[in-house]
Amino acid sequence: MFDPISDMLTRVRNAQLAGHREVLMPFSKMKMVLAEILEKENFVQLVKRVKQDAHEAISIVLRYDVVSNTQRTPAITGIERMSKVGQRVYVGKDEIERVKNGYGIAIISTSKGVMTGKDARRQGLGGEYICRVW
């Protein structure tokens, strides 16, 4: 596993597609910050740090929207890694795009920490374009 962030995003995407209620992944500070942003933006229900055997892990309880008694749709319909290990993507404060006409979020790593694209624009910051979620 060369890119832990891509691994995290793939685990969340696959768990949503499979209809799982919860997903576990190895702990890192960056993954925890990303998960907390997803929770704050109502893409996931709950994020918590847990002990798994002798290691720390992150538990993410996924959010689903109820369509009917028998059908539910995932809150995350798409998640895409933008900046990769071999090809980093940086954006200036004026280059941060709105994701799906405002229905999604961009996650940017700035000099003031990791935040949504909306917050980075508001604070006049650019940085590394981590991913986008819708």
| Digit-coded pLDDT (tens) for 42-75 | 999 999 999 988 999 999 999 999 888 888 899 9
- Sorted by where each starts, the structural domains of the chain and their CATH numbers stand as 1-75 (3.30.1370.30), 82-134 (3.30.1490.10)
* DSSP H helices in 19-71: 29-40
Specify the range with the lowest mean pLDDT, choosing from 50-54, 67-71, 80-84, 126-130. Answer: 67-71
Residue carrying the six token digits 């992944």: 25
Model-level pTM? Answer: 0.93
H or E stretch including 9?
Answer: helix 4-18
Q: What angle do the packed helices 29-40 and 4-18 form, to 10 degrees?
A: 40
CA distance 42 to 3: 25
Tell me the C-alpha distance between 121 and 12, whole Å: 26
